[in-house]
Amino acid sequence: MKKTLLLILTTFLLNTAGVCWAQEEKNEPETELSATSIVVKGSTLSVYNANGNILEIFSLTGTKVATIRIDSNEKTVDLSLKKGCYILKVNKVVRKISIH
C-alpha cells in the first residue's frame, strides 16, 4: 500500500513540476541593421551609424577625457591619447580599448 501511494505521489509531483518550471517565451526585438559600431585601429577611431550622437571617452578611473560630436554616419577621429586603457561610449554602445 505504501509503495502504491508513494508511486502515485511521485507521479503527481513529477507531472506538476513541468508546469512550475515552464517559462513564457519572450519575443526579443529584432536588432536594427544600422546598429552603432566603434572600430579602433592604432590611434584611429571610426564610429559608424551614430549620426547626431555624442562620443564620450573615459579613463579607467572614470574621468571624462574627451567628448566628440558625431555629425555623420561615418566619423573618423585621430585619437591623441596617452598609452593606456579607455572606455568609449556612444548612446548605449560601450567599448573598452587599449592604446599602445
Residue 71 parent element (H or E): none
What is the full per-residue pLDDT of the chain (100 aa) written as tens digits? 888 888 887 877 666 655 555 555 666 555 445 689 999 998 899 999 999 999 999 999 999 999 999 999 999 999 889 999 999 999 999 999 998 8
* Yes or no: domain 37-99 corresponds to CATH 2.60.40.3080: yes
Distance of CA 88 to CAs 32, 42, 48, Å?
21, 15, 13
Distance of CA 96 to CAs 11, 31, 46, 99, Å?
52, 22, 14, 10
Query: Structural domain boundaries of the chain?
Result: 37-99
Residue 19 parent element (H or E): helix 2-21
Interatomic CA distance for residues 93 and 35, integer angstroms: 9
Nearest Cα neighbor of 61 from 39, 93, 84, 40 is 84
Q: Is the pTM of this model over 0.75?
A: no
